[in-house]
Amino acid sequence: MRRLHVSLVGFGAVGQGLARLLLTQRERLQREYDLDIRLVSVANSRHGCIFAEEGLDIAELLALASQQKALTEAAHTQRWDSALEGIRAIKADVMVEATLTNLRDAEPGLCHIRTALERGMHVVTANKGPIALAARELLQIARTQGVQLRMEATVMAGTPVLSTAFEGMAGTRITAARGIFNGTTNYILSAMAEGREYAEVLADAQALGYAEADPTADVEGYDALAKAMILSALLFEQPLTVEQVTRTGITGVSREQVAQASEEGKRIKLIASVRRHESGKVEASVEPVALPLSDALAHVNGAMNAITFESEALAKVTVIGPGAGGIETGQGLLTDILAIARS
Active site residues: 227
Tell me how far apart the alpha carbons of residues 214 and 205 are, in angstroms, rounded to a whole number.
12
Q: What is the Cβ-side half-sphere exposure of residue 122, based on CA atoms within 13 angstroms?
A: 18
Compute the chain's Rg from CA coordinates: 20
Q: For every residue of the chain, which 3-state class applies, written as one string?
A: CEEEEEEEECCCHHHHHHHHHHHHCHHHHHHHHCEEEEEEEEEECCCEEEECCCCCCHHHHHHHHHCCCCHHHCCCCEEECCHHHHHHHCCCCEEEECCCCCCCCCCCHHHHHHHHHHCCCEEEECCHHHHHHHHHHHHHHHHHHCCCEECCHHHHCCCCCHHHHHHHCCCCCEEEEEEECCHHHHHHHHHHCCCCCHHHHHHHHHHHCCCCCCCHHHHCCHHHHHHHHHHHHHHCCCCCCHHHEEECCCCCCCHHHHHHHHHCCEEEEEEEEEEECCCCCEEEEEEEEEEECCCHHHHCCCCEEEEEEEECCCEEEEEEEECCCHHHHHHHHHHHHHHHHHC
Paired with 289 in beta bridges are 269
**Four-CA torsion 24, 30, 33, 39, nearest 10 degrees:** 60
- CB-based contact 114:141 (threshold 8 Å): yes
